[in-house]
Amino acid sequence: MTERLTLVRPDDWHIHLRDGAALQQTVADVARTFGRAIIMPNLVPPVKNAAQAGEYRERILAQRPAGSAFEPLMVLYLTDQTSPDDIRAAKACGYVYAAKLYPAGATTNSDSGVTLIDNIFAVLETMAEVGLPLLVHGEVTTADIDVFDREKVFIDLHLRRVIERFPTLKVVFEHITTADAVAFVREAPANVGATITAHHLLYNRNHMLVGGIRPHFFCLPILKRNTHQQALLEAATSGNPKFFLGTDSAPHAKHAKEAACGCAGCYTAYAAIELYAEAFEQMNALDKLEGFASFFGPDFYGLPRHSDTITLVREDWQAPASLPFGDQQVIPLRAGETLRWKLLDGGVA
């Protein structure tokens, strides 16, 4: 049995750090392991242009722990009003690495998202031209479509035609949750990739709903049945470079999750690589973790791989029951339970 695992330093290609006082914990947690992270722009109000991305980036950098070289890769939030000039300015600023499509109403803070993808075709054209990847929350939002089917219907109604119409646009299908999405990405051209979260690899909807409703497993896209979980595990451990690490770590205060109408999002950043190691170990595929976590993301974005490493050891430890979240608390995924892998201090081998 593997007892020690050294990886080239990984990156997180999808994370929510939030803002204000929350950054103290969220930035420390991501910087502990990851060299870079794609920072989701769904703040209130959202990060809509290069100037706002630059200000947010400064707030993140101000919370970076001493000695850390963590680099936040900023993202624009697309709205019906985003213009080709906004895209050109974002590309030119040097710290924006992608733009994010939230279908209006699909998820947390998506109210000002795009109401119809066709409204932003001129923007997508410019993104393809300047080489700015499109990140997609791939779910339809119409009331007639069941919440468990929203990802598949989004592929059929929207993603397929966007990819055909913009063949040179890099597209990341974010936090995929279904066998349908795995098949779609696998068969799509090389400019289409996908991120997969640790929680969608480790859990299915039974974990959320059997024996009582567990709000800390509730995220969007929602956990699916175990056959979909299996397809995600196979994709992540396949060595196919189209699939790479994106935690979608998305903290909400305890009271906002443990509520009659609880928010969507799981907080995993405090132990992200450890959770992925568990999932890969279950598949007897720890040898595939480095490609997924450290190589395929930078290769897709056209960025250099890191040259330093982190080391994990096989050692049981207890996840914290809660963590500070500004003046509140966030309950992390697996709170109070045992984790199987531990990052060596400072990530130094």
Ligand X SMILES: NC(=O)N[C@@H](CC(=O)O)C(=O)O
219 makes contact, choosing from Zn ion, ligand X, none, with CB < 5 to 8 Å by partner type, with: ligand X
- Considering only 108, 191, 204, 229, the residue that binds ligand X (CB under 6 A) is 108
290 touches ligand X (CB under 6 A): no
- Considering only 32, 48, 137, 216, the residue that binds ligand X (CB under 6 A) is 137
Q: Which residues bind Zn ion (CB under 5 A)?
A: 107, 137, 248
- Considering only 42, 82, 229, 240, the residue that binds ligand X (CB under 6 A) is 42
Tell me which residue of 182, 138, 132 sits closest to 162, measured CA to CA: 138
- Residue 85 annotated in active site: no
Question: 175 among the known binding-site residues?
Answer: yes
Shortest reach from residue 222's CB to ligand X, in Å: 8
170 makes contact, choosing from ligand X, Zn ion, none, with CB < 5 to 8 Å by partner type, with: none
Question: 255 among the known binding-site residues?
Answer: no
237 touches ligand X (CB under 6 A): no
Number of residues that bind ligand X (CB under 6 A): 11
Annotated catalytic residue, options 11, 12, 180, 248: 248
State the alpha helices, DSSP H only, in the chain. Answer: 23-33, 50-61, 84-93, 121-130, 150-154, 160-165, 179-187, 198-202, 205-209, 226-236, 254-257, 272-282, 289-290, 296-301
Tell me whether residue 153 or residue 264 sits nearer to ligand X (CB atom).
264
d(CA 212, CA 15): 28
Is residue 74 classed as helix, strand or coil in its secondary structure?
A: strand
Tell me which residue of 57, 95, 50 sits closest to 77, measured CA to CA: 50
d(CA 91, CA 89): 5
DSSP, res 319: P
Q: Is residue 132 packed enough to be buried (19+ CB in 10 Å), middle (13-18) or exposed (0-12)?
A: buried
d(CA 137, CA 322): 28
Question: 345 among the known binding-site residues?
Answer: no
Question: 16 among the known binding-site residues?
Answer: yes
42 makes contact, choosing from ligand X, Zn ion, none, with CB < 5 to 8 Å by partner type, with: ligand X
d(CA 196, CA 292): 10
Contact letters (x/-) for ligand X, 165-204, by CB under 6 A? ----------------------------------------
What number of residues does the chain have? 349
Q: Which of residues 251-280 bind ligand X (CB under 6 A)?
A: 264-265
Question: 220 among the known binding-site residues?
Answer: yes
C-alpha atoms less than 13 angstroms from C-alpha of 50 in its C-beta half-sphere: 16
Tell me whether residue 132 or residue 250 sits nearer to ligand X (CB atom).
250
191 makes contact, choosing from ligand X, Zn ion, none, with CB < 5 to 8 Å by partner type, with: none
Shortest reach from residue 264's CB to ligand X, in Å: 3
d(CA 188, CA 190): 7
Single-letter amino acid, residue 231: A
Whether the CB-CB separation of 272 and 343 falls below 8 Å is answered with no
Shortest reach from residue 318's CB to ligand X, in Å: 25
The partner residues of 314 in beta bridges, in order of sequence, read: 341
- Considering only 8, 15, 16, 295, the residue that binds ligand X (CB under 6 A) is 16
Question: 248 among the known binding-site residues?
Answer: yes
Question: 42 among the known binding-site residues?
Answer: yes
Shortest reach from residue 272's CB to ligand X, in Å: 14
Residues annotated as catalytic (active site), given as ranges: 248
